[in-house]
Every structure is written in structure tokens, then in C-alpha cells.
Amino acid sequence: MVWFKKTSKPIAAAAKIKASRVPEGLWAKCLGCSQLIYHKDLAANLNVCPKCAYHFRIGAADRLRMLFDDEAWVERDKDLASTDPLRFTDTKPYKDRLIASKAATGLKDALIVGAGRVDGIPTIIAAMEYAFIGGSMGVVVGEKIARAIERAIDVRCPVVIVCCSGGARMMEGALSLMQMAKVCGALARLDRERLPYIAVLTDPTTGGVTASFAMLGDLNIAEPKALIGFAGPRVIEQTIRQKLPDGFQRSEFLLEKGMIDMVIDRRELKATIAGALRFMGARHKPQSPSAPTDGAELGTAPATLRDQDAPRVP
């Protein structure tokens, strides 16, 4: 028996909304101050809101373009791709996730390694791509970073890693956790060679990435208001059953507590990195006519910290 019966007709659908004449993607709404920003202005400002300095997330390629001189670099180990070693399936097969992420980003995995110059200093930079399965660190990410560090040791140049990651890639299980040790081992060798390493922590840097190379820089630089932590705030709150303080796990909070060294506006980032590298003994090498820089050319670069007059850390 039916207790209630709809006697009146269903409400008519609202009249079709007139299509906007503003082309898609011309304006962006700031997540900080809710103002509309012309997309070109935002791009010219390195994706930082000109009104409130909110830092939008940017991709790995934009990151490298922003840091390297003349937006030029040579990509390394471009073709490394995951083989799905565990044949892992959660809500959908890992293989399908890889295919979808490759199509969406045009990358083979969540990291781009580039060799080029930062303010004239030959440098190798690895930048993580959040759009590729949350910037998670699997075997490929670990291997590419380890190779980048080894290459830096060979050509005697500094390393910068721009972190942006949800942590280790659970679809590769323990193999992804092993990357933490592998990258840390490579960084220890870089340290013994007295070559500088700068970690740049962007929003978000969490999990196994924070627990390994993100916190191992000779200098750990964060972008303003970036989420940086190991476990997420909700998990911690539920575990310790306490309210967390305001700004918990944000750059400024971590700077105050001594977890990181600097909080730097993205527009100042390149100059800060170049200044720090110079302070740590990296040398400017006059631009050769065969730009853009490639590994072979970096190989002929004069030794940086091996120079007799370079500052030595006791």
C-alpha cells in the first residue's frame, strides 16, 4: 500500500542557464581572497595572487621553467616508467591509474628531472608533479632522484628537489618505502662529496617524502602556508584526541618550531636558491655558446666545493 502519493507534477526544471560568454579559463578565483584574477596576470605572477599572495599549486614543468635560466633545461631519465611490480588493484587497477595519469599529465611518472642553470650556476633540479597520482613516490620517482643525485656527483653540481607529494605510493607497497632509504643513501654520498642540496617544500609535502629527502636539505625552504607533515591533521587529532593548534603543519608554524629554515615567497625563490648555492660554494660558470646546458657541458664545469678557496664546513 502506498501511504503518500505525489499528486502534483514535479517542479519544472529551471530554464536553461544562458551560456556564459566568458571563455573557460580566462579568469581564476583566488582561494585565498576570493577575488577574480585574470589568468594572464596570474601566470605572469608565477601563480601567486597579486592581491593576497596566495600561492596556487603549480606543476613540475612550470616549476622548472620558473627556476632555470631562460626557462631552458635538459630533461633526464624521461622514459623511466613503472611496471606495476605487484599487479596491484584497489578500487581500480594500478595499471589503469598509471595510464590515466600519463594521459592527463603527459609524463611517465610523478617527477621531472632537469639539468640547467640557476642564475648561471649549473644545477640539477628534480620537481614532483602532484597531478600524477598525488605526486606519490614509487620506484620510478626514487630511481630518478637517486640517478639525479649520482649525476650531480659526477658533474659536481648542486641538487635542488622541489617536493610536492602525498607520500609513498601505496600501490607499490614496500618497494615504494625502500625509495626513502635509497634516496637518503644517495644524499649522504652527495654530502660526503661536499655538494649542496636544497629541499623546496611546497603545498602539500607529506608522508614518506617528508620522512626522507624533503627534510634532509642543507637548507629546507618552504613556500608560504604550505601543508607540510607526516600524517594528516585529522589522523593526528583522532589519535591524540586533542585539538591541534591554529596553523598546525603549515610552513610558518614549522619555521617557528625549527622544523624548516626559511619561508620564501615563490617570486623570491629563484634568487634565494641562487644566493644560497653561492653561499655554499657553488660557482657561476660563464655561459658557453652551446646553450642550453646539457650534462656533458655540466661535466666540464669547474669543481664547485672542491675549489681550494671554497668555504669548508668543519
Helices marked H in 156-250: 173-192, 207-210, 233-240
162 near Zn ion, judged by CB under 5 A: no
Confirm if 66 and 119 have CB atoms less than 8 A apart: no
How many residues make contact with Zn ion (CB under 5 A)?
Answer: 7
The contacts of residue 244 (CB under 8 Å, 6+ apart) are 233, 236, 237
Q: Which of 26, 36, 44, 52 binds Zn ion (CB under 5 A)?
A: 52
With respect to Zn ion, which residue has the nearer C-beta, 28 or 211? 28
Fill in the DSSP letter of residue 231.
S
Q: In what order do the strands lie in the sheet with 219-222?
A: 73-76, 111-118, 121-128, 159-165, 197-205, 219-222, 262-263
Does 51 sit near Zn ion (CB under 5 A)?
Answer: yes
Asked whether position 99 contacts Zn ion by CB under 5 A, the answer is: no
Is 224 near Zn ion (CB under 5 A)? no
The minimum distance between CB 28 and Zn ion, in angstroms, equals 10
Binding mask 170-199 for Zn ion (x = CB under 5 A): ------------------------------
> Shortest gap between Cβ of 58 and Zn ion (angstroms)?
15
What is the DSSP secondary structure assignment for residue 215, as one 8-state letter? G
Distance CA 1, CA 162 (A): 65
214 lies in the site for Zn ion, by CB under 5 A: no
49 part of the interface to Zn ion, by CB under 5 A: yes
Grid cell, residue 283, equals 660557482
| Binding track, positions 10-39, relative to Zn ion; x by CB under 5 A | --------------------x-xx------
Q: Is 54 in the site for Zn ion (CB under 5 A)?
A: yes
- The stretch among 1-9, 54-62, 70-78, 209-217 that binds Zn ion (CB under 5 A) is 54-62
**HEC states along 195-211?**
CCEEEEEEEEECHHHHC
User: Which of 52/296 has CB closer to Zn ion?
Assistant: 52
**Dist CA 260 CA 252 (whole Å):** 9
Question: Which is nearer to Zn ion, 32 or 173 (by Cβ)?
Answer: 32
Tell me the closest approach of the beta carbon of residue 263 to Zn ion, in angstroms.
18
C-beta closer to Zn ion: residue 52 or 104: 52
Strand partners, 117: 122
Question: Which three cell numbers, joined as nine digits, stand for 245?
Answer: 593548534
Tell me the closest approach of the beta carbon of residue 42 to Zn ion, in angstroms: 10
Q: Which residue from 309, 277, 310 is spatially nearest to 117, judged by alpha carbons? A: 277
CA 94 to centroid of chain Cα atoms: 22
Point out which residues bind Zn ion (CB under 5 A). Answer: 30, 32-33, 49, 51-52, 54
